[in-house]
Amino acid sequence: MGPHDNDLLMNFRQDPSQGHSQGLPQGERIIMFGRVVDQFGKPVPHTLVEMWQANAGGRYRHKNDSYLAPLDPNFGGVGRCLTDDQGVYRFRTIKPGPYPWPNDMNSWRPAHIHVSVTGPSISSRLITQMYFEGDPLIPLCPIVHTLKDPEAVETMIGRLDMANSKPMDCLAYRFDIVVRGELQTYFENQ
């Protein structure tokens, strides 16, 4: 793991001394954090948490993303970290923008961050998404419409956490991930 793997403000930064812009991504700075736990609330330590997301304009740094929003030269949109002994993970990033869903005339995906969880106590890679509390596009999202259980959607909501926000810097969103059991987070690949 590199020193900036969980800091998306720094891990793709361009060097301003080489004629690049100020070197930081555009957008609202946020902290995304939480715990990876089992069905009994016990921490799942030393678990790899990977995330990927669109930039503040709603565009992914991917060759097949044809959305008209510009790429941010200082934002790669990917990060990773290991949970600590208490199952805690933490990323510093920017809040992604919504983007149009091409399968329908006027459908939009709400701001979201994709999350993958793998580790020694997890039998296979688990993939989910974190949506942001209060986003009015969540109930309109074509992906959310495929979920039959409204409680599954609730397991994918990151909650604003002012106690972990950094004053004059960034807001924090808590997203705990339950890897199995009745209260497990909804995983799209299960």
Which ranges constitute the DSSP H helices of the chain? 150-154
**Residue 114 annotated to the active site:** yes
Residues 6+ apart with CB under 8 A from 5: 11, 79, 80, 81
- Of 13, 59, 60, 174, which residue is the catalytic one? 60
- Of 13, 35, 59, 112, which residue is the catalytic one? 112
DSSP string, 115-161: EEEE-TT-SS-EEEEEEETT-TTGGG-TTGGG-S-HHHHHTTEEEE-
In the chain, the amino acid numbered 183 is L
- Of 13, 35, 59, 109, which residue is the catalytic one? 109
29/54 Cα distance (integer angstroms) = 14
Q: Is 22 exposed, middle or buried (0-12, 13-18, 19+ CB in 10 A)?
A: exposed
**Residue 99 annotated to the active site:** yes
- Of 35, 59, 114, 180, which residue is the catalytic one? 114
The sign one gets for the Cα dihedral 143, 145, 149, 155 is positive
CA–centroid distance for 160 within its chain: 14
- Helix H or strand E encompassing 56: none
**Residue 62 annotated to the active site:** no
- Of 13, 59, 92, 99, which residue is the catalytic one? 99
Residues acting as catalytic residues: 60, 99, 109, 112, 114
